[in-house]
A and B are shown apart, each in its own frame.
Chain A
Amino acid sequence: MTDVTAGRAEGVRSVQDNYLALVRKKRLYGGITLLIFIMLMLSGFQIANDRNAGGFLEGIPMFFDFPEGVIEEAWEKRGNLPGLLVKYFPALIETVNIAAVSTLVGAFGGIVLSLLSTRGLALWPRAIPLFRRVMDVMRALPEIVIALVLIFVLGGGPVPAMIAIAFHTAGALGKLFSEVAENADLKPVEGLSSVGASWGQKMLLGVIPQVAPNYVSYGLLRFEINIRASAILGFVGAGGIGYELRNSISWGQGKFDEAAAIFILLFGTIVVVDQVSSHFRNRLTKGAAL
């Protein structure tokens, strides 16, 4: 009996020792990782600070001067604001329009690309790496680069911006969509295969109903991002509210009331889209009304 208890106590001790050794190893690795991280942060900051024209800390106060100037001037001319808001509203519509069309086009492209590059669902399993690399490239090219090239070729206007954003969106959404599709249940797909359905039928009837709420949710998120992107593309001549913003800001002092009006419009739009889309995303994920 004493032998049994002694043997058992020994067993516990060896478990304890082994576990403590494991913990020590983990702590050592964790400590080294933390040290490397801190050193990288410090050295990175140092390099950035050295390369800068001015110092970071000395520059901070100046950073706040510009918004202060904008707000001050806008406040002085606050009487103009309502008129300016009305004046720039059509430009805002154009920007939102570019974002909406490019989100829709990009989402359709993303759906096709994602289904073609998901393991277990792909039409040509061997071509999965190819479609993945295609999406990588589409994602890697910033909208602004594509837009600059297209504006050079096609001339300024909303169409190059739309193509540029849709291209990038298809790559970005395709990646997210394919991650959702990877978690989809394959049993319904097998069921449809057993009745002789084509690939398109299997995807549309077996996979899309499962993933639709997530797809819509990601699509709405992308729409918000694309509104900002399409505003930025206005800076390089794609029209819309970004173009007006560039004009009023680069004009410098004297037109800051217009800049403030445009900021208010943009900010308001993003808040509205965010609220509306989060409302719908909640409804989709919680399954109400569906």
Chain B
Amino acid sequence: MLKLERLTKRFGDRTAVDAASFEIDKPAMIGIIGRSGAGKSTLLRMMNRLIDSSEGMMTFEGREITNLKGAERRAWQSQCAMIFQQFNLVPRMDVVSNVLHGTLNRRSTLSTVFNLYPREDIHRAIEILDRLGIAEQAPKRAEALSGGQQQRVAIARALMQDPKIILADEPIASLDPMNAQVVMDTLRRIHEEDGRMIVCNLHTLDTARRYCDRVIGMRDGRIVFDGLPSQLTTGAARDIYGAGADFSEAATSTDIAALEREAEAAAI
């Protein structure tokens, strides 16, 4: 389905992503882990075509994506939804309008500026919000919602696109553990119920282990690990994070249970 061949991005003389190659043959939930600055975000942005790649190629169902231009590129972006760390909603617009932005690629600029969305789309947007458990927030402004709710609005916008792939760039990095769990559970559910491919940047190991079918580890722009979550041993994790022997998994954890385990260990 999705194939990356030596995809590279350079900013000046710095290489952010260095010849990333991997292949995903069926819709799966993929986690990309690595410390900040490892090139995870850049990789996702290249896949969505928010930024252009310097070298290499990406194909989806046999079609080259990296050379798409103009309307074709925007059509690709509408099939490849993106979720951001800071939610990237329009704060002063209401929740349903933000979700309806998922249909922008199919509508003319004029009709969207005047907020003339078809009734079916509005119904569907509210159904999606209901599926994510925030239908009662529909008429509120996006900025009035909590972080976890805003991220679910962002996921609803992604679902409104009816995408084949959902890219999630650190979707839980600015959420508290409770909301992080709700958001990750939602993403997993979308993958299982709709069969959509989800590629998710994470910086915590336990989240990747718990939710993903396959984990890709990046360090300094290179892919240094690619395998099943069960293959992700502490040694492999040290490699990915470039950490020494004092590295413990709980240090990167946002899971409440893991934190408790550490607290207990410290108490003993």
Interface residues of A (CB under 8 A from B): 8, 11-12, 15-16, 18-20, 22-23, 26-27, 30
Contact = CB atoms under 8 A, between A and B. Distances in A.
Given A8-B130, A15-B135, A19-B122, 12 more contacts: A11-B130, A11-B135, A11-B136, A12-B126, A15-B136, A16-B122, A16-B123, A19-B126, A19-B138, A20-B122, A22-B139, A30-B114
Contact of B139 (A12, A19, A30): A19
B210 interface: no
Contacts of A19: 96, 122, 126, 138-139
B119 interface: yes
B55 interface: no
A30 B126 contact: no
22 contacts: A8-B130, A11-B135, A11-B136, A12-B126, A12-B130, A15-B126, A15-B130, A15-B135, A15-B138, A16-B122, A16-B123, A16-B126, A18-B138, A19-B96, A19-B122, A19-B138, A20-B122, A22-B139, A23-B115, A23-B122, A27-B115, A27-B116
Contacts, number: 34
B234 to A, nearest CB: 41
A244 to B, nearest CB: 48
Nearest to B116: A27
A67 to B, nearest CB: 35
Contact residues of A: prevailing secondary structure: helix
B127 interface: yes
B115 A30 contact: yes
A26 B119 contact: no
Task: Pick from A15, A26, A27 the residue with the most CB of B within 10 Å.
Answer: A15
Nearest to A22: B139
Contacts of A16: 122-123, 126
A8 B133 CA distance: 11
Nearest to B96: A19
A3 B239 CA distance: 53
A183 to B, nearest CB: 17
A26 B126 contact: no
B117 to A, nearest CB: 8
Given A12-B126, A15-B130, A30-B114, A20 B119 contact: yes
Contacts of B136: 11, 15
A26 to B, nearest CB: 7
Given A19-B138, A20-B122, A22-B139, A12 B115 contact: no
Interface in B94-142: 96, 114-116, 119, 122-123, 126-127, 130, 135-136, 138-139
B115 to A, nearest CB: 7
Nearest first, the 10 A-B pairs at minimum CB distance are A12-B130, A16-B126, A15-B135, A19-B138, A15-B138, A16-B123, A15-B126, A12-B135, A19-B139, A19-B96
Contacts of A8: 130
Nearest to A16: B126
A259 to B, nearest CB: 43
Contacts of B127: 12
Contacts of B114: 27, 30
A198 B82 CA distance: 52
A225 B210 CA distance: 61
Nearest to B127: A12
Contacts of A27: 114-116
A132 B114 CA distance: 37
A8 B127 CA distance: 11
B29 to A, nearest CB: 27
A27 B139 CA distance: 15
Contacts of A26: 115
A16 B119 CA distance: 10
A147 to B, nearest CB: 43
A18 B36 CA distance: 44
A27 B130 CA distance: 24
A18 B115 contact: no
Contacts of A23: 115, 122
Contacts of B123: 16
A12 to B, nearest CB: 5
A36 to B, nearest CB: 15
